[in-house]
Amino acid sequence: MIEESHARPAQANPVIWVSLLLPTCGAAAYLAYTMGSHSMHGISYLSGQFLVYGAVGAALFYGLLLRKQGGKYYLTVLAALFAAMYAGGSIGVDKQKQQAAIAMTATQEEMQRLTSAIEKANASKDGGMQAHIMETTTSTAPRAQGEYGEMERFMKGFMNSAVSYKNSYLQELQAIGWDRVMDAKRLQADRDMAESKAILARARTIITKFEAETDTLFANGKASIDSLAISDGAKNDMRAGFDKGANNTKNQIMQNWQMEREALQEVENMVKLLADKKKWTVEKDQVMFRKQEDLDKFNTYNGNLEKIGQRQVELQQRQLKKSAAEMQNLKSTLQNK
- Is the predicted pLDDT of residue 309 greater than 80, yes or no? yes
Say if residue 175 is in the same domain as residue 283. yes
Considering the domain architecture, whether residues 324 and 203 belong to the same structural domain is answered as: yes
For residues 217 and 143, state if they share a domain. yes
Using CA atoms, how far apart are residues 199 and 177, in angstroms rounded to an integer?
A: 7
Least Cα distance to 93 among 39, 140, 149, 54 occurs for 39
Residue 7 predicted with pLDDT over 60: no
The mean pLDDT of 277-283, rounded to a whole number, is 93
Specify if 331 maps to a domain: yes
Are residue 65 and residue 125 in the same domain, yes or no?
Answer: no
φ, ψ of residue 70 to 5 degrees: the values are 105, 155
Is 1 a domain residue?
no
CA-CA distance, 315 to 251, in Å (whole number)?
11
Q: For residues 116 and 37, state if they share a domain.
A: no
User: Average of pLDDT values for 209-231?
Assistant: 92
The answer to whether residue 176 scores a pLDDT higher than 60 is yes
Same domain, 230 and 85: no
Has residue 127 got a pLDDT over 70? no
Q: 288: left (phi > 0), else alpha (psi -120 to 50), else beta? A: beta
- Per-residue pLDDT band at 8 (split at 50, 70, 90): very low
Contact at 8 Å (CB) between 147 and 231?
yes
Same domain, 178 and 68: no
Domain assignment present for residue 2? The answer is no
Q: What is the mean pLDDT of residues 158-168?
A: 90
Rounded (5°) CA angle 119-125-127:
100
pLDDT for 152 beyond 80 = yes
Same domain? For 35 and 73 the reply is yes
Task: Look at the chain and report how many structural domains it folds into.
Answer: 2
Decide if pLDDT at 270 tops 90: yes
Provide mean pLDDT across the span 38-44. Answer: 73
Are residues 219 and 319 located together in one domain of the fold? yes
Per the prediction, the chain carries an average pLDDT of 83
For residues 72 and 122, state if they share a domain. no
Q: Does residue 5 belong to any structural domain of this protein? A: no
Give every CB contact of residue 224 below 8 A, 6+ residues apart in sequence.
154, 157, 158
pLDDT band for 178, please (50, 70, 90 cuts): very high
Q: Which of 105-119, 157-171, 266-280 has the highest mean pLDDT?
A: 266-280
Domain identity same for 77 and 138: no
Q: What range does the domain containing 284 cover?
A: 99-335
Whole-number pLDDT of residue 295: 96
